[in-house]
Amino acid sequence: MGRRKGSRNKAQPGVEGVGANGGEPHQALDDMSDDQRRALLVVGCVEIERRKVVIESLETEIKKERSKLRTLGFNLKAELNEMLDLRKKWRTGKMGEYLEELKLKNRVARWCNVAADKPPDLFSQQDYDIAYEEGKTAGAEGLTCKPPDHLRNDGPDSPAQGWISGWQAMQTAMLQAGIKPPEPEPENPVKVQAVVEHDDNIDVRPDFLRQRDKDAAASLAQPDSPSVEQ
């Protein structure tokens, strides 16, 4: 029986099958009998099933090892998975890409005042350098030059003055590069516009930013002494 024109089931040289020649490369599927095709498929399925059993056994062992490490106190995502990933990158020659990506992530973390040994806390910026960086971010966000109320302001080296210096530094950098800050997006533009006509110092920042400063100020405020009822 000849091969049908355009058939995709072409013979694969060097692949042993179950043909009559025994051990020789099997014929094209189109040239096999129904039983021969059936036998070839069954043999392939058996080989796949045997290997799946091996894989499942290995996966069970892997789960046991991961569970043991977790019991010992390791963080599976931050420690185990990270190390496995790094070891794989090292073996496959992709460590350079990882280091470049890590450098970019560290730079963004620095911009957001995030450090491994110093958890971020937007409500207690009592450090000049941290407030300076926050002022830069605020300037890029398009906020007015008004440091948060909770920042200490008792001299030129105070966090509040650091915030202002950061804001001014960002304005200079953006002006030199021709970068325009985003326009504020008040919740009710019509209402805010009417108020701004009478008060140029109105805070037009989004509600979540205004609420952030209010919460920070409240957390730092000393509790009032209880009043005596008359």
The answer to whether residues 106 and 168 belong to one domain is no
Neighbours of 166 (CB within 10 A): 23
The answer to whether residue 221 is domain-embedded is: no
The answer to whether residue 192 is domain-embedded is: yes
Per-residue pLDDT of 87-124, as tens digits, reads 999 999 999 999 999 999 989 988 887 766 665 554 45
Greater confidence, 195 or 90?
A: 90
Q: What percentage of the chain exceeds 90 in pLDDT?
A: 39
The answer to whether residues 184 and 146 belong to one domain is yes
Q: Report the pLDDT averaged over residues 132-146.
A: 90
Q: What percentage of the chain exceeds 70 in pLDDT?
A: 66
The answer to whether residues 86 and 43 belong to one domain is no
The answer to whether residue 13 is domain-embedded is: no
Greater confidence, 206 or 15?
A: 206
Is this model's pTM higher than 0.75 or not?
Answer: no
Per-residue pLDDT of 178-194, as tens digits, reads 888 888 766 654 544 54
Residue 93, phi-psi category: left (phi > 0), alpha (psi -120 to 50), beta (remainder): left
Q: Are 126 and 159 contacting, i.e. CB atoms less than 8 angstroms apart?
A: yes
Q: What's the CA dihedral at 31, 33, 39, 40 to 10 degrees?
A: 10
The answer to whether residue 6 is domain-embedded is: no
The answer to whether residue 16 is domain-embedded is: no
The answer to whether residue 81 is domain-embedded is: yes
The answer to whether residues 193 and 146 belong to one domain is yes
The answer to whether residues 155 and 91 belong to one domain is no
The answer to whether residue 36 is domain-embedded is: yes
Domain count, the chain: 3
The answer to whether residue 135 is domain-embedded is: yes
Return the pLDDT at 81: 94
The answer to whether residues 147 and 181 belong to one domain is yes
Question: Could you tell me the residue range of the domain that residue 66 belongs to?
Answer: 29-72
Return the pLDDT at 85: 94
